Structure formats: structure tokens, C-alpha cells
């Protein structure tokens, strides 16, 4: 590292351009009698060659000053990376965050539906929070500069390779990114990983899945994304092959259409999106786990209006397999009102939303949930110098029901149901100048537990080089109290 520094300094000797600049970053939080989080980072930017050198320490430990040994269990991660900004190429070491194709096939069932706009290119970067489960990895991503093939066609190619440090778990990927006539983009990607999976753990004789010995695992995947002003299409296909378990596939498809609709004297974009994905029972995912079969279909409509307003309706249906009956659903409606201007009333709605969820995987214990939220902004003439007061109201109710046959995946109002729990809260937000204050009061009622109140109060101040906040909260008001201090300091 030192040799590279002096080599870079020599290249710039005798020029007026600065050799490099540097930045420092430190953030963290401490919750009373619980966990201390720390993130410290330094970055050097070398201008002429577009390089950036980055190093970070991420720490998470329990900290309780009431004990004889306050410093408790935890983890410390050391990470570092070298970046080439013009192409996005990078060499990384540490616990990584992945996105793109490799992330979408890790466990899609805990991710958002695979709409075309959710299909991001393959990439990885260093995590920004300490991880107790992640492993240190070495990662190399190389991208070519953008090349002009013809007058209207540009091409960029990339490859990547990574492996865990403790043992050899390789993963390689690559792709081609075309830009056509400045309006159309076509991205093609491939991915491969293979390793030896450890024996599965089981506590019963006839467990499902059954006990499995060490076994060889291979995963192949490819992705395609086409985008244009009117239509975008994204699709992935993955094939896994696991000894003593079998082979199976995962697939997804997302389509988004964005027509311009007339509104007043201007055209406003509307986005209509659909997505489906599914996996077989024997498919083994990117993380080496078998998360089971499933099928999901989703759709949403979004319309962007004047002054950043937004209207959205969406629905998701899930079932155990392709062609089977759906047994889970969620659907909702959301509207964000136009941003305030000089003609806005002193009290106005800022947003409203309503969502309904249903889980009928177990017909004898079907869970229904209804939740809502709406926000209000209060900006009286007397508050012109201190900023508006934001008020957010939210609530939810959950019920249980049962069915003798095949239950509907949608909430059915007339079917008999039993109360499970309900809750509501009110939050106040006030941001005068460099300060921000929040207060929240909530109430929860349960069928089989005592009702409880929760309360929190927080304050934060923003300054030139960072932010400092303090929060007091009582999840069982007024019996228990916790205090949290958070900070963020940076020098750019």
C-alpha cells in the first residue's frame, strides 16, 4: 500500500493537479445495556487514474457498563477495496453485499417481486454493517470501457470472480451490456458457482428434508434485461445440480410498460408492471440452502403526477407450485399527494395507504391482516421559520379463521373470524432548521396477552460534518426504558 502511494505521488510530481484527496467516515450507535455498533472508514481518491482505495472496520459488540466486564460477545470485520471509477472495476476483500442476478437467486421468496425495474446488473460491494453470519470473501470485478461498435451501438463487457477465504467456494460471472441508439439497452449475464455442501442437520428420524451427507453442488444461471422508453423486459433462469438431492430450476419474468398519458397540458408517465417467478422442490439456491418450491405472480400500476405525486396499486399471489392453488396474497393502494407550494392549505394530507395480507398455507389457521397509514402536514403562518409539523397515523388488525376445503387466497369479509391482535400509533415529526424531533405513541391489543403501550422520543442535529441523535423508547410503557445514541461524522 505504501509503495503504491509513493508511486502515485511520483506520477503527479511537477503538475498543478492534486495527487489525491482523502475522506474519513465514522458512524455508530449504542443502545443502553445492549449493543455497540461502530463503522470506521478511510478513502483515498487518486485523480489522474480514477482510482479509489478504501478500508473499513466494522464492529458489533454487546456493551453493558453494569457488569464487571462491560465488553461482551460480538464480531469485528476488516474490509478493503480498490476501485476504478471510470469502469466500475473493483478488487474487494471482506464481507460482501451482492445484487443483480446472483442476489436474485439467493432466496427470492424474501425479496420483492422480480419486476423488470428490479433487475439490476451483477455487482458486489463491501458491507457497511458488521455481520455475524457472513464470511470474508475475495472479489474481483473487471469491466471494459464503453466501446463504440457503430454510430448508434455501444458495448461494455465485464467478468467477475469471487471465493470465500476460509474455504474455496468459487463463483464466476460475466456479461455484455449493449446500448442501442441511446434509447434501448440490452444486458446479458451468466453466473456459475459450485462447492461441497456440508451434511444437513436433522433432529428427528423422519425429517423433511431428510438427512443428507456431504454433497457436490453446482448452480448455473443466466439473465436478460431489455429496457426502452416504452417497454422493459427482465428474465432469469437458473439450474441447480446437487448430488443425493437432484436437479431443478428457478425462473422469473418481469414486464413493464410505460405509456405517456395526457394530463392537463403535459403528458405524465404511467407504469404497468407484471412479474412471475417459480422454483421446483429440488432447486438449491445461491446460498446452498433448499428454500422449497414456490410460485408467485405480481402486478402493479404506478402513475406519477404533478409535483412528485404518485398513485400506486399492487397485488401479489403466492402458491406452493406452478399450476397449484394460490394460498397467500397481499394487495394494496398508495397515494402520495403533490408537494406543497405557495397555494397549499396550512393543513393538508401528504400520503395515504391501505394494504391487506392473507396467509392460508395452513387451512386450519388462516391469518388475515389489514393495515393502513396516512400522513398530515401542518404548516401555519406562525411556523414559517421553524418548518412544518408532520403527523403520521398508522394502524393494523389481524384475525384468524379456518377452512375445511381449499380456502380463497383473498381476504373474505363474510367468513367467520376470530380476533388475534390490533394496534395503532401516532408519530409527530418536526424539523426546525438543523434539528429534527420525533415523538411516537402506540397501543397494541392482543387476544392471548396483556395489552401494552409503547412510547419513543428522539432528537437529532445535523451539522457540517455529520449528525448526532439521541432516542429514548419504552416498548412496554412506562415499565421499561431504553436509550440509544447514534452518530455520523465524516470529512470529505
Residue 310: Cβ within 10 Å count: 14
Q: What's the number of domains the chain is made of?
A: 1
| pLDDT-derived band at 259, boundaries 50, 70, 90 | confident
Does residue 330 come out as left (phi exceeding 0), alpha (psi in the -120 to 50 range) or beta?
beta
157 falls within a domain: no
CA distance 325 to 404: 15
Convert the pLDDT of each residue in 201-236 to its tens digit: 765 555 556 677 888 999 999 999 999 989 999 999
357 falls within a domain: yes
Q: CA 78, 84, 89, 91 torsion: positive or negative? A: negative
CA distance 423 to 369: 11
Place of cell 402458491: 319
CA distance 172 to 303: 39
How is the chain split among helix, strand and coil, in percent rounded to 5? 5, 60, 35
416 falls within a domain: yes
What kind and span of H or E run contains 284? none
Convert the pLDDT of each residue in 87-122 to its tens digit: 999 999 999 999 999 999 999 999 999 999 999 999
CA distance 256 to 271: 7
Which residues partner with 423 through β-bridges?
396, 444
Convert the pLDDT of each residue in 108-166 to its tens digit: 999 999 999 999 999 999 999 998 888 999 999 999 999 988 878 899 999 999 999 88
Across all residues in the chain, what is the average pLDDT? 88
Convert the pLDDT of each residue in 183-193 to its tens digit: 899 999 999 99
| pLDDT-derived band at 18, boundaries 50, 70, 90 | confident
CA distance 84 to 380: 50
Q: What is the model's pLDDT at position 10?
A: 41
390 falls within a domain: yes
C-alpha distances (whole Å) from 239 to each of 100, 101, 197, 251, 434 are 17, 13, 17, 9, 53
Convert the pLDDT of each residue in 368-395 to its tens digit: 999 999 999 998 877 777 788 999 999 9
Convert the pLDDT of each residue in 427-438 to its tens digit: 999 999 899 999
Residue 219: Cβ within 10 Å count: 23
Q: What is the model's pLDDT at position 209?
A: 62
Range of the structural domain that residue 372 is part of: 325-449
Report the 3 state secondary structure along 103-161: HHCCCHHHCCCCCHHHCCCCEEEECCCCCCCCCCEEEEEEECCCEEEECCEEEEEEEEE
- For residues 474-489, give the mean pLDDT: 91
- For residues 283-295, give the mean pLDDT: 91
- Tell which wins on pLDDT, 69 or 474: 474
CA distance 352 to 375: 7
CA distance 354 to 374: 9
CA distance 260 to 419: 45
101 falls within a domain: no
CA distance 120 to 98: 11
- For residues 278-284, give the mean pLDDT: 94
C-alpha cell at 73: 460477545
Please tell me which of 96-100, 401-405, 406-410 the model is most confident about, judged by mean pLDDT. 96-100
According to DSSP, residue 307 is labeled G
233 falls within a domain: no
397 falls within a domain: yes
Q: What is the model's pLDDT at position 407?
A: 85
Residues 6+ apart with CB under 8 A from 330: 315, 316, 355, 356, 357, 358
- For the cut 70, the answer to whether the pLDDT of residue 68 exceeds it is no
Q: What is the model's pLDDT at position 3?
A: 37
CA distance 106 to 121: 15
Residues in the chain: 492
| pLDDT-derived band at 13, boundaries 50, 70, 90 | very low
Answer for the pair 391, 428: CB distance below 8 angstroms, yes or no. Answer: yes
According to DSSP, residue 361 is labeled S
Answer for the pair 357, 398: CB distance below 8 angstroms, yes or no. Answer: no
203 falls within a domain: no
Amino acid at each position: 500500500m505504501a509503495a503504491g502511494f509513493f508511486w502515485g505521488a511520483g506520477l503527479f510530481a511537477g503538475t498543478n493537479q492534486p495527487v489525491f484527496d482523502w475522506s474519513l467516515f465514522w458512524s455508530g450507535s449504542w443502545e443502553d445495556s445492549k449493543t455497540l455498533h461502530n463503522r470506521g472508514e478511510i478513502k483515498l481518491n487518486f485523480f489522474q487514474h480514477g482510482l479509489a482505495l478504501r478500508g473499513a472496520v466494522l464492529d458489533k459488540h454487546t456493551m453493558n457498563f453494569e457488569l464487571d466486564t462491560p465488553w461482551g460477545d460480538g464480531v469485528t470485520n476488516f474490509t478493503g477495496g480498490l476501485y476504478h471509477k471510470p469502469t466500475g472495476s473493483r478488487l474487494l476483500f471482506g464481507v460482501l453485499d451482492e445484487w443483480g442476478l446472483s442476489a436474485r437467486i439467493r432466496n427470492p421468496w424474501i425479496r420483492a417481486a422480480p419486476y423488470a425495474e428490479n433487475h439490476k446488473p451483477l455487482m458486489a460491494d463491501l458491507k457497511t454493517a458488521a455481520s455475524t453470519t457472513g464470511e470474508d470473501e475475495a472479489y474481483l470485478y473487471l469491466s471494459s470501457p464503453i466501446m463504440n461498435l457503430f454510430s448508434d451501438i455501444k458495448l461494455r463487457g465485464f467478468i467477475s470472480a469471487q471465493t470465500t477465504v476460509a474455504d474455496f467456494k468459487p463463483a464466476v460471472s460475466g456479461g455484455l451490456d449493449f446500448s442501442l441508439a441511446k434509447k434501448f439497452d440490452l444486458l446479458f449475464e451468466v453466473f456459475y458457482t459450485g462447492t461441497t455442501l456440508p451434511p444437513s442437520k436433522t433432529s428427528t428420524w423422519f425429517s423433511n428434508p431428510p438427512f443428507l451427507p456431504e454433497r457436490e453442488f453446482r448452480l448455473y444461471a443466466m439473465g436478460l434485461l431489455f429496457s426502452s422508453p416504452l417497454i422493459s423486459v427482465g428474465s432469469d433462469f437458473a439450474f441447480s445440480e446437487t448430488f443425493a438431492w437432484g436437479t431443478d430450476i428457478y425462473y422469473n419474468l418481469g414486464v413493464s410498460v410505460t405509456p405517456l398519458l395526457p394530463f392537463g397540458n403535459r403528458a405524465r408517465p404511467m407504469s404497468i408492471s407484471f412479474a412471475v417467478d417459480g422454483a421446483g422442490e429440488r432447486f438449491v439456491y445461491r446460498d446452498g440452502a433448499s428454500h422449497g418450491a414456490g410460485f408467485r405472480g405480481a402486478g402493479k400500476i404506478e402513475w406519477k403526477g404533478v409535483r412528485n405525486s404518485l398513485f400506486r396499486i399492487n397485488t401479489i399471489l403466492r402458491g406452493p407450485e406452478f399450476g397449484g392453488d394460490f394460498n397467500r396474497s397481499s394487495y394494496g393502494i398508495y397515494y402520495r399527494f403533490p408537494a406543497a407550494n405557495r397555494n397549499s392549505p396550512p393543513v393538508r394530507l401528504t400520503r395515504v395507504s391501505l394494504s391487506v395480507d392473507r396467509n392460508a398455507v395452513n387451512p386450519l389457521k388462516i391469518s388475515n391482516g389489514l393495515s393502513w397509514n396516512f400522513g398530515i402536514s401542518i404548516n401555519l403562518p406562525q411556523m414559517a421559520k421553524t418548518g412544518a409539523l408532520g403527523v403520521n397515523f398508522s394502524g393494523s388488525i389481524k384475525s384468524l379463521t379456518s377452512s375445511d376445503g381449499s380456502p380463497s387466497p383473498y381476504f373474505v369479509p363474510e367468513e367467520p373470524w376470530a380476533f388475534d391482535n390490533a394496534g395503532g400509533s401516532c408519530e409527530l415529526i418536526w424539523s426546525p432548521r438543523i434539528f429534527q424531533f420525533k415523538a411516537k405513541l402506540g397501543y397494541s391489543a392482543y387476544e392471548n396477552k396483556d395489552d401494552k403501550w409503547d412510547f419513543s422520543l428522539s432528537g437529532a442535529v445535523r451539522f457540517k460534518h455529520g449528525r448526532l441523535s439521541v432516542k429514548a423508547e419504552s416498548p412496554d410503557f412506562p415499565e421499561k426504558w431504553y436509550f440509544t445514541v447514534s452518530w455520523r461524522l465524516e470529512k470529505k
